[in-house]
């Protein structure tokens, strides 16, 4: 199986001690390419640097997470846009709205989100979207900006959200949320009706460690090597084979982000 982890926060400091080993472990288990999430100006720069060191294997996104929306001042827009043009960058984001944690004031979240959608349109790259408990504001903004190309990453919504994203032409990113026995119940149902060519897989490491890893890891830190657990959970929910889920999601990720064959 050739897998692509479309969302891994490799710039996170929990990987400072063993980043190279983390990447090698993942590759050893078939994770042939990874998209490194940029969630701030700093982590975007790091994601690009990491991608330059591993050409054809690592790719980056350039963006500011809604948690950090208050940091995205008008002065930072030009530097962020310049980063988004880097050849290693395959998407703009992660950007969006998070009303679950509300770490930045909502008006600033909306402003930062719209700015990044404008950057994506100018740069001509897909968007890497984050949304939690904000669907009612999120969807009209996507529509107003005519967003057609991107991924709703770490999707945890219901059927209506899924259908709204699919109708826009977006892809849907599934994480180890689906492996959670209790929290994943709805997602295991919702994932059945995502067309295979719109379904992408991700760990969102170091977050969202799949809860069904056996033997249970000593650390709570998730890593891209655990992506096969996500594939298996998706396959089981869709009554499909892991090989088919892997092949379709790899093809879809390459097409969306313009990644080379390995």
Residues at the contact surface with Zn ion, assessed by CB under 5 A: 130, 154
What single DSSP character describes residue 205?
Answer: B
> Measured from the CB atom, is 175 or 249 closer to Zn ion?
175
| Cis peptide, bond prior to residue 206, ω within 30 of zero | yes
Exposed, middle or buried by CB within 10 Å (0-12, 13-18, 19+), for 20?
exposed
- Distance separating alpha carbons of residues 8 and 249, to the nearest angstrom: 16
**At closest approach, how far in Å is the CB of 209 from Zn ion?**
15
- Distance separating alpha carbons of residues 197 and 251, to the nearest angstrom: 8
Query: Which residue has the CB atom at the shortest distance from Zn ion?
Result: 130
> Measured from the CB atom, is 130 or 171 closer to Zn ion?
130
> Measured from the CB atom, is 125 or 130 closer to Zn ion?
130
**At closest approach, how far in Å is the CB of 203 from Zn ion?**
12
The number of residues making up the chain comes to 262
**At closest approach, how far in Å is the CB of 36 from Zn ion?**
13
Residue 113: count of CB within 10 angstroms of its CB: 29
**At closest approach, how far in Å is the CB of 261 from Zn ion?**
28
**At closest approach, how far in Å is the CB of 66 from Zn ion?**
8
> Measured from the CB atom, is 58 or 95 closer to Zn ion?
95
> Measured from the CB atom, is 110 or 130 closer to Zn ion?
130
**At closest approach, how far in Å is the CB of 45 from Zn ion?**
19
**At closest approach, how far in Å is the CB of 181 from Zn ion?**
22
What ranges in the chain are assigned the alpha helix state H? 19-28, 41-53, 77-84, 106-123, 135-144, 159-168, 185-190, 227-238, 242-257
- Distance separating alpha carbons of residues 164 and 162, to the nearest angstrom: 6
> Measured from the CB atom, is 68 or 198 closer to Zn ion?
68
Which phi and psi angles does 12 have, rounded to 5°? -60, 140
Exposed, middle or buried by CB within 10 Å (0-12, 13-18, 19+), for 116?
buried
> Measured from the CB atom, is 27 or 222 closer to Zn ion?
222
């Amino acid at each position: 199986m050739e897998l692509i982890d479309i969302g891994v926060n490799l710039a996170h400091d929990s990987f400072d001690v063993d980043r190279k080993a983390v990447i090698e472990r993942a590759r050893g288990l078939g994770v042939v390419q990874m998209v490194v999430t940029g969630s701030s100006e700093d982590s975007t720069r790091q994601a690009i640097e990491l991608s330059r060191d591993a050409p054809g294997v690592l790719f980056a996104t350039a963006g500011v997470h809604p948690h950090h929306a208050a940091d995205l001042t008008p002065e930072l827009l030009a530097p962020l846009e310049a980063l988004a043009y880097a050849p290693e960058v395959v998407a703009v984001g992660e950007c969006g709205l998070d009303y679950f944690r509300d770490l930045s004031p909502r008006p600033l979240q909306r402003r930062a989100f719209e700015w990044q959608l404008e950057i994506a349109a100018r740069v001509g790259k897909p968007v890497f979207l984050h949304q939690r408990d904000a669907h009612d504001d999120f969807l009209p903004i996507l529509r107003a900006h005519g967003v057609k190309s991107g991924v709703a990453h770490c999707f945890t919504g219901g059927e209506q959200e899924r259908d709204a994203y699919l109708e826009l032409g977006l892809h849907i990113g599934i994480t180890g949320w689906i492996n959670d026995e209790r929290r994943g119940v709805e997602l295991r149902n919702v994932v059945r009706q995502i067309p295979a060519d719109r379904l992408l897989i991700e760990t969102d490491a170091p977050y969202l460690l799949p809860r069904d890893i056996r033997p249970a890891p000593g650390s709570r830190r998730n890593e891209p090597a655990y992506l096969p657990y996500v594939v298996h959970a998706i396959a089981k929910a869709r009554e499909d084979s892991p090989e088919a889920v892997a092949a379709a999601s790899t093809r879809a990720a390459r097409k969306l982000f313009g990644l080379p064959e390995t």
